[in-house]
Amino acid sequence: MCGIIGYVGSGDAVPLVLEGLKRLEYRGYDSAGFALVEDGQLVVEKSAGRLSEFMASLGDSLPSGRAAIAHTRWATHGAPTDNNAHPHTDCTGRIAVIHNGIIENVAVLRATLAKHGHSFRSDTDTEVLAHLIEHLYEDSLQGAVAAALKQVEGAYGLAVICTYEPHTIVAAKQGSPLLLGVGDGENFVASDAAAVLQHTRSVVYLDDGEMAVLTKDGYQIPDLDTTRVAKAVSPVDWDLATIERGGYPHFMLKEIMEQPVSICNTLRGHLLPEDGNARLSGINLSDAELLEFDRVVLIACGTSWHAALIGEYMLEELARVPVEVEYASEFRYRNPIIDDRTLVVGISQSGETADTLAAVREAKKKGAWTLGIVNVVGSSIAREVDGGTYIHAGPEIGVASTKAFTCQVTALALLTLRLGRQRALSVLQGREIVEALNALPEQVKAVLAKANEIERIAEQYVRAPNALYLGRGYNFPVALEGALKLKEISYIHAEGYPAAEMKHGPIALIDGMMPVVFVAPQDGVYPKIVSNLEEVKARGGRVFAVVTDGDDQIARLADHVFTIPKTLDSLTPLLSVLPLQLFAYYIAVRRGCNVDQPRNLAKAVTVE
């Protein structure tokens, strides 16, 4: 993985694919490269490092051709070196492959090809694909790719060109996102719509097991048995302005500041104030069918898993339904007990998270009804599930998720409201929740308007080597999320804990050099967390506390405080997480870190 762009048409291909790579930089990468056919010869340029450095090394004289493929890589096999960068070629230097995903039977394939005289120049699994396609090539690139992929186990989104068919690109998908951009006299293949948006808003999403054969005059979509597949062309409903920084120094800050609008977009059209309920027609379940479920299982990874934990608290308290939160990466490997009375919800910003997609598929096999809470329209999870809801956060370019997290929690609040009104919530309680949800965008705006306060506080913690984040109840997952944000973008080691668990180990770390971040609004567990804060101060810890407006008790104890408006306990995370996002951001900026593209991370993790 991570970024794929290919072009075939009447234009000059290399500038177009390099421009596409720039649009994909946000996904994270460690090397870049491209390949095209020029005057009957395969030309490959690639190197480890940043795309800007790679492009500078090319100079002003770029090779010319009408079809090219390009890639930014996020290492799975092999260190980030020039040799391991994509594209990869075969022994003859006539076939080039770019690939996202992991080939699981690479060792067997490599050994078999070596016996037939193939030699390898890299440590990657992708190079094996190039040699396998060469080995099986007879008279058609499409046929060779299809034959090769029938021997492959694992995940792939790939694009292939060769000198034998210089005006053709063959692409294929299995478990890794891939789409076609349909133009006038030109066509594209890409791992993300952002790469083609400047040229077309018409896309075709490939499903697993499908290939695409692209020329400038059109495209065909067969399966691996070359049977033609009919696919709808979908419009992309956002434009380039949404993936530009808009005057902000970083995408992450822009996306933090967009949260009043993004939360409003998640709520739009779903709230029923008079009924104290939520309209969620996309879940494709009637009220009677909702009552048939005995429990709910939420599956996710990373930041989405933290959103799921908040959803667990909401659903159990307000809808009175048993809930389990599962790491998607572990879910399908432990033979979970799932049946047709289980509602399984997969949560993913990209809708392409490989572990979550695999977990959703496992749940379906066991008879569960599956829902998706995703951001990207047409994504793999959105197409796989039985129903669900889009969060409509808009494109999230910064690798560290911010606005998608709050929109996921908002969507879970809507699901809670819908389930709760069927089970445990009165109309008056429902109306109270609706009123609080409607108030959220303005409250979020008020919190973000005080960003300069967080910037001043962050200055005091820039040199901390470690940090501890503590919260209770609904705000324990917020502590986890705050710690994750600090780790992701500033590279400061941080851990989140339930505040009471501090006494069972982490308290040994507390001294005058250990900053402790308390998420301590005035909710149902407020007296308990005040006691935990006292314990930290007694051991000389430095405390930054997020508290409710008007709280002067913690203000007397903490070294630094930041206040948020009062809301329902269940919705407090949507406000308390905001200062933690800003805190991590300002510390990372002050430390000189690459905020939008932190090291070793990718935006969409499409491998297991």
Q: Residue type for 236, please?
A: V
DSSP secondary structure string for all residues of 501-538 = GGGGTGGGG-STT-EEEEE--SSTTHHHHHHHHHHHHH
Q: What is the pLDDT of residue 237?
A: 76
3-state SS record for 414-441: HHHHHHHHHHCCCHHHHHHHHHHHHHHH
Contact of 330 with 299, CB cutoff 8 Å? no
Residue 403 is among the residues annotated as catalytic for this protein? no
- Give the CA-trace dihedral at 48, 63, 94, 102, to 10 degrees: 30
Q: Which residues of the chain have pLDDT under 50?
A: none
Cα–Cα dist 547/404, whole Å: 23
Catalytic residue (one of 173, 254, 403, 603) = 603
Q: What is the pLDDT of residue 492?
A: 94
DSSP secondary structure string for all residues of 13-57 = HHHHHHHHHHHTGGG--SEEEEEEEETTEEEEEEEES-HHHHHHH
Contact of 188 with 180, CB cutoff 8 Å? yes
Q: Nearest-CA neighbor of 348 among 384, 294, 319, 312? A: 384
Residues in a beta bridge with 159 = 98, 171
Q: What is the pLDDT of residues 407-417, one digit of tens each?
A: 999 999 999 99
Q: What is the pLDDT of residues 350-386, one digit of tens each?
A: 888 889 999 999 999 999 999 999 998 888 899 899 9
Q: What is the pLDDT of residue 242?
A: 67
Directed axis angle between helix 403-423 and helix 573-590, to 10°? 170
Provide the token pair at 10: 């009447």
Helices marked H in 161-232: none
Catalytic residue (one of 2, 162, 407, 593) = 2
Of the chain, the end-to-end C-alpha distance in Å amounts to 12
Provide the token pair at 132: 């396998």
Q: Residue type for 584, please?
A: A
**How many CA atoms lie within 13 Å of 527's alpha carbon, on the beta-carbon side?**
1
Directed axis angle between helix 573-590 and helix 476-490, to 10°? 20
Q: What is the pLDDT of residue 239?
A: 67
Cα–Cα dist 597/488, whole Å: 10
Domains of the chain: 2-236 (3.60.20.10), 241-448 (3.40.50.10490), 450-597 (3.40.50.10490)
Q: Nearest-CA neighbor of 488 among 328, 602, 326? A: 602
In which residue are the tokens 């992309």 written?
Answer: 236
In which residue are the tokens 């790469």 written?
Answer: 195
Q: What is the pLDDT of residue 535?
A: 85
Burial per residue of 367-404, b for 16 or more beta-carbon CB atoms within 10 angstroms, e otherwise: ebbbbbbbbbbbbbbbebbbebbbbbbbbbbbbbbbbb
Contact of 481 with 580, CB cutoff 8 Å? yes
Q: What is the pLDDT of residue 606?
A: 52
Residue 366 is among the residues annotated as catalytic for this protein? no
